[in-house]
Amino acid sequence: MADVTPQLVKQLRERTGAGMMECKKALDEAKGDLAEAEVILRKRGIAAAAKKSARATKQGVIGSYIHTGAQLGVLVEINCESDFVARTEDFQQLVHDIAMQVAAASPAFVRREEVTAGALDQEREIQRARALAEGKPEKIADKVVEGRMSKYYEEVCLLEQPFIKDNATTVGDLIKQKIAKLGENISVARFVRFKIGETAEKE
């Protein structure tokens, strides 16, 4: 078994923000493997975050992002449990990252529960017509449609989108990691995305 040195514990703390004892335990479990210990901590953190998800979030920050050239802008409201956490650098960075995500990936909804019945029906019709046009039999077309709907949620729901800075992580998982690190529930309340010319296009 590899020696778990104080330097190794310090390194893991810097990478994850977890407490010293948690880092030591994870490194012991991972037999001194830093990458494996980080995975163990992330799994524990996400499990702990799930327990906090029911707690009320009445504090937070309204963040903004204006893209270079000032043709595209975003406002987001991200909530947490205390003013103390709302002022931390970690929370502020999360708010900025989510505002950038909205600017880059243009989600229509925060979470899948908010997707309207109308939007779902329209997408199912599109995917069904596409499946039939590809020559899929009627019975199989319905299964194909349901399979493609998960991709649709990934595109239109902020929490299910791959994070623009790390495609292996969803925005929802990024938030869970921050919940684990900061010890408070965090939720995305709402966002609005402004793009020059969009109102003229609608008219």
- pLDDT more than 70, % of the chain: 90
Average pLDDT in the 18-44 region?
A: 81
- For the chain, list the domains and their CATH numbers: 6-52 (1.10.8.10), 59-111+157-202 (3.30.479.20), 116-155 (1.10.286.20)
pLDDT in tens, 175-201: 988 988 888 889 999 999 999 987 766
Give first-to-last CA distance, the chain, whole Å. 68
Q: How confident is the model at residue 64 (pLDDT cuts 50, 70, 90)?
A: very high
pLDDT at 200: 63
pLDDT in tens, 114-143: 999 999 889 988 888 888 888 888 778 878
Above 90 in pLDDT, residue 103? yes
pLDDT at 50: 59
Measured over the CA atoms of residue 119, residue 188, residue 158 and residue 44, the dihedral's sign is negative
Q: Token match 């937070």: residue?
A: 60
**Which residue type is seen at 96?**
H
pLDDT at 18: 66
Mean pLDDT of the chain: 86
Q: How confident is the model at residue 1 (pLDDT cuts 50, 70, 90)?
A: very low
User: Cα dihedral angle (159, 164, 170, 175), rounded to 10 degrees?
Assistant: -70
Spatial contact of 12 and 34, defined as CB atoms under 8 Å apart: yes
pLDDT at 19: 65
Above 90 in pLDDT, residue 10? no
- Who wins on pLDDT, 85 or 10? 85
Residue-level length of the chain: 203
DSSP letter string, 78-147: EEES-HHHHTSHHHHHHHHHHHHHHHHH--SBSSGGGS-HHHHHHHHHHHHHHHHHTT--HHHHHHHHHH
- pLDDT more than 90, % of the chain: 40
Answer whether 0.75 is exceeded by the pTM: no
Cα radius of gyration (the chain): 21
Between vectors from CA 112 to CA 46 and to CA 154, what angle results, nearest 5°? 80
